[in-house]
A = this chain, B = another copy of it.
Amino acid sequence: MGVVIPLEDKNPTTASVKPLIHLTASDMDKVNQLILSKAGSDVEMIPEVANHLISSGGKRLRPMLTLAAAKMFGYQGDGHIKLATGVEFMHTATLLHDDVVDESDLRRSKPTARMIWGNQASVLVGDFLLGQAFKMMVDVGSLDALDVLSNAAAVIAEGEVLQLSVAKNMATTEDDYLAVIRAKTAALFSAAAEVGPIIAGTGKAERDALRSYGTNLGLAFQLVDDVLDYGGKAQDLGKNVGDDFREGKITLPVVLAYRRGSDDDRAFWRSAIEDGESDDDALERAHSLIARSNALNDTIARAEHYGAMARDALAPMAESPTKAAMLEVIDFCISRVN
């Protein structure tokens, strides 16, 4: 595939999420307990569906960001546990609804909830988790945190609808695509990070810094995810290389390869993405066009750009092990393509 990782002085390929995991471990235990307790219900199907997705092995990066961002500013209470759990529930609800909307069969190599319990249960359990998320957030009692999180919920939903309109549409520009992932992915990363300083009662500069960090980390994270689908290893991905292509998803590598291709190439992309002619031969041609157009390396370069913005956003904050761990996560997200 020829994916070239731009090596920097700090050698991002050795960057790890482990320091963040270590620093938030005892709080994450509490988050995990709260997740299990709040996904519970006398209505049997709710814990079944919720636990299926919750136990499916995501990294829980978003709640870790909330915990770390609160810790970074010396927060001593326990409201960050509920906010982090709420953030994870918002994410889980989005995944449940996404799989219905995208008609996805697999997530992380396991059948999606909708394949086991049906679209109906997926829609409604998503609604339930969203309701629980808001209840927990209200419990914490911070109107500023509620403002940020409810705004994120509205932006995420708006982004999902926007995505419907760019779906299978090869005229999508890089800006169009960025608007989608800014809303769908970056908004929750941003809110997850910003509620940390909010609950810790910092000033505006700290809130702005963490919001910017979260937004740009989210963009970098999503762009690398896009690259992985055209070049990663299936066992790391929890999905098969080529899933995005077969589902006709527009991602940045496709946007770039299309724009840089010949008329013939563009006709191919339209038939593959817009008309669904995306069999294994087509996937092979897609890989070759993406390689020829250098689309993966340039998508990684874009991710590096947002990673640099995330790094600079945190620059004025006092040095601490938490800050170091949050910076390392940027490099870790990008180094996943190696």
Contacts and interface: CB of A to CB of B under 8 A. Distances in A.
Taking chain A's interface residues, is the majority helix, strand, or loop, or is none over half, making it mixed? helix
A143 B154 contact: no
A154 B131 contact: yes
A158 interface: yes
A127 B43 contact: no
Interface residues of A, number: 41
A150 interface: yes
A160 B127 CA distance: 9
A206 B41 CA distance: 30
Task: Count chain B CB atoms within 10 A of each CB in A45, A156, A161 and give the residue with the most.
Answer: A161
B124 A101 contact: yes
Interface stretch (A11-19, A115-123, A224-232, A319-327): A115-123
Given A134-B153, A158-B128, A120 B141 contact: no
Interface string A155-169: 111101110110000
A125 interface: yes
B154 A124 contact: no
Contact of A97 (B43, B101, B127, B153): B127
A139 to B, nearest CB: 8
28 contacts: A41-B158, A41-B161, A43-B158, A43-B161, A43-B162, A45-B164, A46-B158, A46-B161, A97-B127, A101-B124, A120-B164, A121-B164, A124-B160, A125-B157, A127-B153, A128-B154, A128-B158, A130-B157, A131-B154, A131-B155, A134-B146, A134-B154, A135-B147, A135-B154, A137-B150, A138-B146, A138-B147, A141-B143
